[in-house]
Amino acid sequence: MTELLVATTNEGKFAEVRAFLKSLPLAIVSLRNLSSWPAVVEDGATFEENALKKARALAEYSGMLTLADDSGLEVAALNGAPGIYSARYAGEEGNDDKNNEKLLRELQGIAEGKRSARFVCALALCAPPRCGLKEWTVRESCEGRIAFELRGQNGFGYDPLFFYPPFGKTFGEIDRETKATVSHRGKALKKLAEMLPCLVDLYTKP
């Protein structure tokens, strides 16, 4: 069975990926299954560049087929910020509370009709050097707006602030399975899952 390394230590992201790909003949592991791994500086100018950089580095290091993502929130009233800096918007990597607090501060006084936002997800799949470092990317997005306060305990990141109009709820108020049917990452993973059988076949051939 082909091993697929998911290049994340974020348990929420890993759970979403594993749930989407569980029907495929893959042994899915996260970085936490490795004894160590290299730090990758995400200094690309786009989500795709950052995802590819992570996927390449960790495919080379692990020797495994590697899936990496870079995702974030783009807020129209903030000229697309926080964008590729979403995870470290408040200055500390992965501090959801501080990131959400800063976003609310930046949007203070902005009317509901001007709080439109989108989540973006770029997935990059990379085969290791022995298979020629083949690469594939997928990009999807989800449109919504930023709520005036945190709502819901589900999800992670900006989910409690991201209001999705068709459901009348934030992503923090819906369960993971429902969110996956409409979210940026869910749509990207669905597309990738449809492609993966062919890609794995290419990957396993010398």
pLDDT in tens, 42-84: 899 999 999 999 999 999 999 999 999 999 999 999 999 999 9
What percent of the chain is modeled with pLDDT above 90? 69
Tell the residue number behind the tokens 């990738």, with chain if given. 192
Check: CB of residue 21 under 8 Å from CB of residue 28.
yes
The whole-angstrom separation of Cα 53 and Cα 42 is: 7
Check: CB of residue 47 under 8 Å from CB of residue 122.
yes
The domain spanning residue 135 has which CATH number? 3.90.950.10
pLDDT > 90? residue 21:
no
Q: How many helices (H) and strands (E) does the chain have?
A: 5, 7
31: amino acid identity, one letter:
L
Residue 138 belongs to what domain range? Answer: 2-204
Residues annotated as catalytic are 70
Mean pLDDT of the chain: 91
Give Cβ neighbours of residue 36 (< 8 Å, ≥ 6 apart): none
Structurally, the chain folds into a number of domains equal to: 1
Q: Residue 60 is inside which H or E element, if any?
A: helix 47-62
